[in-house]
Chains A and B, each alone.
Chain A
Amino acid sequence: DAGITQSPRHKVTETGTPVTLRCHQTENHRYMYWYRQDPGHGLRLIHYSYGVKDTDKGEVSDGYSVSRSKTEDFLLTLESATSSQTSVYFCAISESVGPNQPQHFGDGTRLSIL
């Protein structure tokens, strides 16, 4: 398995609180991604990073921000969590872009917002 660690693995919090999820990789890959997985929707891209301090929005970026201050860490922040952000969040990494470098996924963070 690719060296990807997501923390925490589970979190329960209340509406309106800030939440930060961490993705840590040991592969020195340039590209990192955050997805959310919801029943009936598959995986949807939230944000991605193509290098240190280089990030861009995905298709469901509203209410989320990201930061990448070093190659190995990619943080996802919910500034003020809402119940609609209850989901399973996955981090993925890839060495480069293009189909010859498939994305590899972490084991996910299950986030419940009450």
Chain B
Amino acid sequence: AQSVAQPEDQVNVAEGNPLTVKCTYSVSGNPYLFWYVQYPNRGLQFLLKYITGDNLVKGSYGFEAEFNKSQTSFHLKKPSALVSDSALYFCAVEAWGNNRLAFGKGNQVVVIP
């Protein structure tokens, strides 16, 4: 079975500072990895994905994520956080071929003006 751990409940960062949201995963075989963002009273919006190839993946709104196979991690990063980045962020993993996403519990990001 696949699973995702997002170890921090909340991440606080000052506007303009780098933002990192951590994710580690467990899966048999090769993983497909995703990040989604959720704003209040809205559904999840897709940010980026890793399938294969370059370990650094670039996505929407200036976000990127780094895949590290040896550490089974897929941390989300943004070089300079904006107040509008304040939201709930979910990491998800899909084991190759099983067509099911397993989500982490989510991280609340608060960007302080």
Contacts and interface: CB of A to CB of B under 8 A. Distances in A.
- Size class of the A contact interface (CB-based, 8 Å): 20 to 34
A102 interface: yes
Interface residues of B, number: 22
A44 B103 contact: yes
A101 B105 CA distance: 22
Q: Does more than half of chain A's interface fall in helix, strand or loop, or is it mixed?
A: loop
A42 B49 contact: no
A41 B105 contact: yes
Interface string A101-113: 0111111100000
Contacts of B44: 43, 90, 92, 105
A94 to B, nearest CB: 9
Contacts of B106: 42
Contact of B43 (A40, A90, A97, A100): A90
